[in-house]
Amino acid sequence: MTSGELGDATIVFDLDGTLVDTAPDLVRALNRTLDIEGLPHAKLETARNMVGQGARVLIERASAAAGVSFGTERLDQLTAAFIDFYRADIARESRTFPGVEHALDELAALGAKLAVCTNKRTELSNMLLDALDLSRYFSAIVGADAVTQRKPHPEHYLAAVQRAGGVLRRSVMVGDSAADVGAARAAGAPVMAVTFGYCDGGADKLGADALIFRFSEIAPACRRLLAARP
């Protein structure tokens, strides 16, 4: 590839399970939240597949696994507690997946605009990316609270593309979940799924246009998918 080859492209990334392995810190905060209700702790490997739809859904899924459900008011309170636990030490164990920074450097060198589209809150997303020195790569970081409809609704994806200064027809989504694929599909954009994320049931079953086994494959896949666009 030559420099500037992706100069009109916008590459949109999911955060949890795509750019960063956040599960250890999310599960740590989750288990402190479950302690409030005297519920058993979630195991890391089990809880990985519960991540991706935000703190509230994570708590609902973990408590349901213990045979418990909460009313709206109590769930609001537990979600607030979770956020406090998580915010206090947001990157204690979270790490980028292998090859992330090299891939982002490569995409930037090729001229691509980069954005984050995540069901995490924007404030927490910024905190995490700042802690891992990744914020500098992204022209837009759009959390679930920054839009009316979050992933898998296309509004969320479209907002990320537009706020990065891109255009839909020259954009690609990179994610690990059905919500990521659904948002891109509904917006009419190509999408690739990483195989190392938090998808429950296998990334190969998500219906993405490409499967990514390592970050070194992303730039070539972007070039291929965008070349196929009318």
Sheet holding 171-175, edge to edge: 140-142, 113-117, 10-13, 171-175, 191-194, 210-212
The residue annotated as part of the active site, out of 14, 25, 180, 209, is 14
Distance CA 25, CA 31 (A): 10
- 14 classed as catalytic: yes
Q: Are 39 and 143 in contact (CB under 8 A)?
A: no
Q: Which residues are catalytic?
A: 14
